[in-house]
A and B are shown apart, each in its own frame.
Chain A
């Protein structure tokens, strides 16, 4: 039986998985241990931890109700990480996947959970060297979390398009804007949460799976969105790690506005029919970004993702005003109107240089040194 911890509604936290690359050919390198060792020499109070393979590192913010303070914290974490990485001559980069690493070269981090995952999933564990952003949204109770999870599933293609930054995979242009999710799809417990109606039903499902020996904790579900009972949040896990340090804050602001709309409207339209086209729409966003065509299985119509995002943003304006995040609302609108995709930027660098090493060099410089587009406060 899972207890859902109460948390302040609409509070936010983000986690970012980052690449650790060498500065010679910009391939992934075994750097997380060295980084963590050096970071650990003086207390910093930030949440910085290893990930499944040693070319990854994860950072997490504290709980914020204001996205501006979240950006401040992310900038402080970045400054600390950059200082440390420079001493070790390591590069850090955003982006959903490293363009040319070979999965078999990766080393599993020596931590019990990761070793178990590696034993269970074999090569999938090393192929899971992909980089995502997770957004946590505070919920007052489990029932609300279940509702919010279903509500947000409708907007999954939006988050995919806004964060898409993994066009290359194993040295090849995939033609996808986000190829990262293909690595996640391979896991048997990926996809979406089953269509449960409330926290009790969720618990029944979880207990059933645990009794069958399939799962031991919520961590075993690799869903795109999942309730996180120990934090009292709903966690969106669909996003690629964006290239810039400020984009994660925009994505968090978008999630905050959507969640407020869900709570204020008292949305409760939970139905399996909404999931009929879930995987198809998800694929469309991964493949085409803003040019995706979404299918509404209930209303039986097709819409362009771009139009859907602009309509959604129009509807969210009152919530942006109520939350005091009009600047982020405008920035999102600009980003969509300009059809700005991180994956386009990466392809442009590749077209100009013909070198994937150069692509990673530029994306590393971007994450480490680029000033945020929206200033803090």
Chain B
């Protein structure tokens, strides 16, 4: 006798995406209404509750199957963040460029020192410290959208996030090269592969940027809807292509956004407000991120994970506090900006996989530690960043 349809129920990717969205929205609303937390925290908590570490409504396979939407969300956010990096501004406002760069370098060195002091070998320590430079573009964009924050702290926070993601990906590639070198891998592993990752991603982003500008000029500003669909398409294409070519999708998309903002006639790519039209992708992204959180490693590694997060925040807040005046900000606002950099980048998991594959030994410790840190920053980051923007009086709520 055949099974009846309801006797062999299995979630497919679309149903998984639906669950991510529906439960995410409910969780977000509960967080906002009951606990006065940012909606993002609610989405992440929903994910944690229904994910493999909680009620197991979603397993890893289903999360992977909904990965298309999640990658697209990350792509949309990184593209938007790339557009926040205004090179004309950075050329004039060298203080911002120098502060973002120095703050990133100081964070990297501080984390590297902490990790090696805690007993990590140099290779995984450098990979972890490189990942620690970057702030999450998705969290920032969604928080700014949710709280309708506007002002210098918000603007500089965004520009700094774009820059620290670029720096993080570059340093990560170099650290990867160092890891291959330390492991005694061949030249192709420690020079050609990182070179391919870095230059290939930059090139793909630039070509996509040039193409987007040309096509938008051809479409004309009157075709706003067509422009928006085109940009969605190009972002999906760049994410897909960079995965196919085994590049760094995050870097390619960042450069893509940056190119459309800064290359000649880039204004033809009128602000498509892609991120504001993509909130359902972002909800799915955060629920999936929550579902992937693993509180167990945190239970074991919490002292060093807390140390990592504290050092990272203190160095960022300290750097920006010192540089506040040259950035035209009151020192308090500088410190708040540094604090707002807490959420860690959404592409960290992908980099973690890449890093773990390279590390012959210690891959498990490396991944476990990063998952513990992510568990902390994903839960605390949105709350701290919203607090910083509120204290700077740039939000509306």
Taking Cβ atoms with an 8 Å cutoff, the residues of A that contact B are 22-25, 29-31, 33-34, 37-38, 41, 86-89, 107, 353-355, 357-358, 361
Given contacts A29-B150, A34-B152, A87-B92, 19 further A-B contacts (CB under 8 A): A23-B86, A23-B89, A24-B83, A24-B86, A24-B261, A25-B270, A25-B273, A34-B151, A34-B328, A86-B92, A89-B86, A89-B155, A353-B221, A354-B220, A354-B221, A354-B223, A355-B221, A357-B271, A358-B221
Docked Cα-Cα span, A353 to B151, in Å, equals 28
Chain A's closest residue to B273 (CB) is: A25
B121 interfacial by beta-carbon distance below 8 Å: no
A89 touches B93 (CB 8 A): yes
Q: Could you tell me the distance in whole angstroms from the C-beta of A115 to the nearest C-beta in chain B?
A: 15
Q: Could you tell me the distance in whole angstroms from the C-beta of A280 to the nearest C-beta in chain B?
A: 35
Chain B positions 304 through 328: 1 when the CB is less than 8 Å from some CB of chain A, otherwise 0: 0000000000000000000000001
B151 touches A25 (CB 8 A): no
Chain B's closest residue to A27 (CB) is: B271
Within 8 Å CB of B84, what residues of A? 24
Within 8 Å CB of B89, what residues of A? 23, 86, 89
B394 interfacial by beta-carbon distance below 8 Å: yes
Chain A's closest residue to B328 (CB) is: A38
Within 8 Å CB of A355, what residues of B? 221-222, 270
Docked Cα-Cα span, A25 to B270, in Å, equals 7
13 A-B pairs whose Cβ atoms sit less than 8 Å apart in the complex: A24-B86, A24-B261, A24-B271, A33-B151, A34-B328, A37-B330, A86-B89, A88-B155, A89-B86, A89-B93, A354-B222, A355-B221, A357-B271
Considering only residues 61-106 of chain B, those with a C-beta below 8 Å from chain A are 83-84, 86, 89, 92-93
Chain B positions 279 through 309: 1 when the CB is less than 8 Å from some CB of chain A, otherwise 0: 0000000000000000000000000000000
The tally of residues in B whose CB lies under 8 Å from a CB in A reads 23
Q: Could you tell me the distance in whole angstroms from the C-beta of B116 to the nearest C-beta in chain A?
A: 38
A87 touches B83 (CB 8 A): no
Docked Cα-Cα span, A361 to B88, in Å, equals 14
Docked Cα-Cα span, A17 to B152, in Å, equals 21
Docked Cα-Cα span, A241 to B273, in Å, equals 29
Docked Cα-Cα span, A200 to B48, in Å, equals 76
Within 8 Å CB of A23, what residues of B? 86, 89
Docked Cα-Cα span, A252 to B271, in Å, equals 38
Docked Cα-Cα span, A336 to B366, in Å, equals 74
Within 8 Å CB of A361, what residues of B? 267
Docked Cα-Cα span, A88 to B151, in Å, equals 9
Within 8 Å CB of A22, what residues of B? 155
Within 8 Å CB of B222, what residues of A? 354-355
B396 interfacial by beta-carbon distance below 8 Å: yes
Within 8 Å CB of B330, what residues of A? 37
Q: Could you tell me the distance in whole angstroms from the C-beta of B16 to the nearest C-beta in chain A?
A: 35
B270 touches A30 (CB 8 A): no
B270 touches A87 (CB 8 A): no
Docked Cα-Cα span, A25 to B92, in Å, equals 19
Q: Could you tell me the distance in whole angstroms from the C-beta of A18 to the nearest C-beta in chain B?
A: 17
Docked Cα-Cα span, A29 to B148, in Å, equals 11
Considering only residues 265-279 of chain B, those with a C-beta below 8 Å from chain A are 267, 270-271, 273
Q: Could you tell me the distance in whole angstroms from the C-beta of A99 to the nearest C-beta in chain B?
A: 13
Say which residue of A30, A86, A89, A358 sits within 8 Å of B267 (CB atoms). Answer: A358
Docked Cα-Cα span, A25 to B272, in Å, equals 9
Chain A's closest residue to B148 (CB) is: A105
Chain B positions 235 through 277: 1 when the CB is less than 8 Å from some CB of chain A, otherwise 0: 0000000000000000000000000010000010011010000
Docked Cα-Cα span, A298 to B300, in Å, equals 92
Q: Could you tell me the distance in whole angstroms from the C-beta of A149 to the nearest C-beta in chain B?
A: 40
Chain B positions 122 through 157: 1 when the CB is less than 8 Å from some CB of chain A, otherwise 0: 000000000000000000000000000011100100
Within 8 Å CB of B155, what residues of A? 22, 88-89
Q: Could you tell me the distance in whole angstroms from the C-beta of B330 to the nearest C-beta in chain A?
A: 7
Docked Cα-Cα span, A355 to B266, in Å, equals 13
Docked Cα-Cα span, A356 to B20, in Å, equals 37
Chain A's closest residue to B152 (CB) is: A34
A88 touches B396 (CB 8 A): no
Chain A's closest residue to B80 (CB) is: A24
Chain B positions 142 through 175: 1 when the CB is less than 8 Å from some CB of chain A, otherwise 0: 0000000011100100000000000000000000
What are the 5 A-B residue pairs with the smallest beta carbon separation, nearest first? A355-B221, A354-B221, A25-B271, A354-B222, A30-B150
Docked Cα-Cα span, A75 to B151, in Å, equals 26
Within 8 Å CB of A353, what residues of B? 220-221
